[in-house]
Amino acid sequence: MKIGISTASFFPRTESENAIEKIKEFGADCAEVFLGTFYEYRPEFAKAHAQAFGGIEISAVHALSGNFEPQLFSSSRRVRGDGFYWLDQVMRSAQVLGAKKYTFHGYISRCSGNNVEEAAKYFDGVCEFCARYGVDVCLENVSWCAYNRPGLFAEFKSRCPRLAAALDLKQARRSGYPLNMYIEDMRGSISHVHLSDVDENGKMCLPGRGIYDFEEIFKRLRGAGFDGPAVIEVYGGDYGDLTELKTSLEYLKEIAYKLK
């Protein structure tokens, strides 16, 4: 298992190109690049900062999903066209960065519901489009988006075999369902993991600062066939000094090393 950090953990404190430099400085095995603006989606951005993004494995790219991902599921051809325009920009950026995975939220559940049969057709189109760029679509469990409860991934996967999964610990917690139900639902398809912790008061915090047993979580992930990139993804207000991210990274790397 490779342990890294998502640049989302620095947002909006630090710009992406500066965040990646800190991640490398901290000694991460890999990094997920969170492209948070339309400006950053364009491959020109990745090319302009190629030196900053070089020297570390970019495990995945992640967009600010509300900007265009829901449009990919619209019944309107023109609306979908706008969505695919920006998806194309993100995929071109993924190629520049060397990323082979795309962390994907999909549609907003409260707006579109969960018509699995209909949604799977759109998922298949997105997977086919991204595959042209050599990128796998990893559907993330998100409490307010397409994959908002255990069982849905298996349903989508049965209709869209190319779909991979991204497990997010904080979103599993927010959904109200046990983490292990998500791990089992994604068994054999987990391609990427977002790590966070929670304190005794229910507040999100960095791994190692809360109550989660990461040794047990890593064992369960391995038992479900996962041995890929697992990155810290918290929000800017969930910690103090940036060096706290380094401490958390070292804590997780030690656990992963012990379980080799």
DSSP character at residue 236: G
Q: Which amino acid is at 189?
A: S
Closest to 221 measured CA to CA, from 169, 253, 183: 183
Q: Give me the CATH topology for the region 2-258.
A: TIM Barrel (3.20.20)
pLDDT of the chain, 260 residues: tens digit per residue: 999 999 999 998 999 999 999 999 999 999 999 999 999 999 999 999 999 999 999 999 999 988 999 999 999 999 999 999 999 999 999 999 999 999 999 999 865 656 889 999 999 999 999 999 999 999 999 999 999 999 999 999 999 999 999 999 999 999 999 999 999 999 999 999 999 999 999 999 999 999 999 999 999 999 999 999 999 999 999 999 999 999 999 999 999 999 98
Domain boundaries, the chain: 2-258
> What integer pLDDT is reported at residue 125 of this predicted model?
97
Enter the pTM of the model. Answer: 0.96
pLDDT for position 87: 98
CA-based radius of gyration for the chain: 17
Cα dihedral: 248, 176, 32, 240 (round 10): -40
